[in-house]
């Protein structure tokens, strides 16, 4: 959401914010009232809603009294419930989303893959692909590292593949000079057990700026996510902007992030193949890896640079 907000400002558009500042019933009531009152008494051409199922209620209420063009920005599990969500919660979320879509002017999704997925599950009007505000190259500065170092960053849950990444690192420990796992969650203890005899640095959840710094210190980024709601994989794009080479499981929109010439090398079809593909990558020369990193960043800058993304979105609103 912040990237979209900053993108609007960069394009000279006046933007007002209504955000959830604290959880719980009181926090949501305060957020809903702030959003409702701003729309009712303010003057806006558009309202851009992120995390639709949680945030759209005050917008729909305000539209009873005042018409405004509603932009719905869907991401991953916001449109498609997580595996652990109850059937009742999942059904309620889908119902809210469809009501919102029926009252929207434009639906914004982060990838072509997610556009197809949304169109198969919901009744939509107009859909525009805009990759979550893109990536600001000032925040993720390109720096290719000439060292066989591997990084995993994400929630330590089965769907994100932390254990799969740990197995790949363990099987390639003789080829890896440095490894780092960033994140927290129920799988962390299993990851530490798997890597108990491997030299690995563990870090908890990090602010965005510190994550960017860590990415600029490593060479290969492991993204073995099998999560159904993976709508883009923005962290993979961020890794590329930082100079890293991603190794990913073919899931969601990741094929859109990797140039077609490199998919055979960097996109694997299953968790079982990740370790073998990491071995192949680690055996490449520094010059070959630098060439791969350079091709990735050239591809990403055109497609996912924040300036290009915000320009395209603002042009669509005219």
Supply the pLDDT for residue 87.
86
Residue 90 has pLDDT above 90, yes or no: no
The answer as to whether 164 is a domain residue is yes
Identify whether residues 175 and 290 lie together within a single domain.
yes
Q: Residues 272-293: pLDDT tens digits?
A: 899 999 999 999 999 999 999 9
The pair of three-digit structure tokens given for residue 296, joined into one six-digit string? 């990735």
Overall average pLDDT of the 189-200 stretch: 96
Which are the contacts of 285, defined by CB distance < 8 A and separation ≥ 6? none
Task: Supply the range of the domain harboring residue 198.
Answer: 149-304
Supply the pLDDT for residue 80.
84
Identify whether residues 268 and 190 lie together within a single domain.
yes
Supply the pLDDT for residue 78.
85
Residue 255 has pLDDT above 90, yes or no: yes
Overall average pLDDT of the 123-151 stretch: 94
Supply the pLDDT for residue 77.
82
Burial letters 269-290, b for 16+ CB under 10 A, else e: eebebbbebbeebbeeeeeebb
CB 156 within 8 A of CB 191: yes
Percent of the chain's residues with pLDDT above 90: 83
Total count of domains within the chain = 2
Identify whether residues 157 and 121 lie together within a single domain.
no
Query: What CATH number is associated with residue 172?
Result: 3.40.50.2000
Supply the pLDDT for residue 318.
78
Residue 73 has pLDDT above 90, yes or no: yes
Question: Is the full-model pTM beyond 0.85?
Answer: yes
Domain end, chosen from 100, 129, 158, is at 129
Identify whether residues 217 and 279 lie together within a single domain.
yes
The answer as to whether 173 is a domain residue is yes
Confidence of residue 76 (pLDDT cuts 50, 70, 90): confident
Supply the pLDDT for residue 241.
98
Q: Residues 111-134: pLDDT tens digits?
A: 999 999 999 999 998 999 999 899
Identify whether residues 12 and 59 lie together within a single domain.
yes
Confidence of residue 200 (pLDDT cuts 50, 70, 90): very high
Q: Answer with the residue of higher pLDDT: 160 or 2.
A: 160
CB 266 within 8 A of CB 247: yes
Alpha carbons 178 and 290: distance in angstroms, whole number: 18
Identify whether residues 153 and 125 lie together within a single domain.
no
Identify whether residues 91 and 192 lie together within a single domain.
no
The pair of three-digit structure tokens given for residue 89, joined into one six-digit string? 């919660």
Domain end, chosen from 129, 163, 194, is at 129
Identify whether residues 55 and 162 lie together within a single domain.
no
Torsion of CA 184, 189, 190, 195, to 10 degrees: 90
Identify whether residues 177 and 219 lie together within a single domain.
yes
Supply the pLDDT for residue 292.
98
Residue 83 has pLDDT above 90, yes or no: no
The answer as to whether 226 is a domain residue is yes
The answer as to whether 46 is a domain residue is yes
Overall average pLDDT of the 141-152 stretch: 96
Q: Residues 5-56: pLDDT tens digits?
A: 889 999 999 999 999 988 889 999 999 999 999 999 999 999 999 999 999 9
The answer as to whether 317 is a domain residue is no
Alpha carbons 168 and 249: distance in angstroms, whole number: 13
């Amino acid at each position: 959401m912040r990237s979209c907000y900053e993108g609007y400002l960069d394009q000279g558009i006046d933007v007002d914010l209504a955000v959830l500042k604290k959880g719980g019933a009181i926090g949501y009531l305060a957020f809903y009232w702030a959003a409702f009152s701003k729309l009712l008494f303010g003057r806006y051409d558009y309202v851009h809603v992120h995390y639709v199922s949680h945030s759209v209620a005050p917008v729909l209420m305000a539209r009873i009294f005042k018409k405004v063009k509603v932009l719905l920005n869907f991401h991953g599990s916001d449109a498609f419930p997580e595996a652990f969500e109850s059937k009742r919660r999942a059904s309620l979320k889908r119902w809210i989303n469809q009501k919102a879509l029926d009252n929207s002017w434009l639906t914004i999704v982060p990838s072509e893959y997610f556009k197809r997925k949304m169109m198969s599950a919901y009744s939509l009007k107009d859909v525009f692909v805009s990759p979550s505000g893109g990536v600001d190259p000032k925040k993720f500065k390109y720096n290719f590292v000439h060292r066989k170092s591997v990084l995993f960053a994400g929630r330590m849950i089965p769907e994100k593949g932390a254990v799969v990444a740990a197995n790949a690192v363990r099987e390639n420990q003789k080829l890896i000079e440095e490894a780092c796992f960033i994140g927290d969650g129920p799988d962390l203890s299993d990851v530490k057990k798997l890597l108990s005899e491997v030299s690995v640095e563990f870090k908890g959840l990090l602010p965005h700026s510190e994550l960017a710094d860590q990415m600029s210190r490593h060479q290969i980024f492991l993204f073995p996510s099998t999560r159904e709601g993976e709508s883009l994989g923005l962290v993979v794009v961020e890794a590329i902007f930082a100079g890293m080479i991603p190794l990913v499981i073919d899931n969601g929109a990741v094929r859109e992030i990797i140039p077609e010439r490199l998919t055979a090398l960097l996109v694997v079809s299953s968790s079982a193949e990740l370790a073998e593909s990491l071995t192949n990558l680690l055996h490449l020369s520094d010059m070959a890896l630098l060439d791969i990193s350079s091709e990735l960043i050239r591809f990403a800058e055109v497609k996912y640079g924040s300036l290009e993304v915000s320009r395209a979105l603002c042009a669509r609103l005219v």
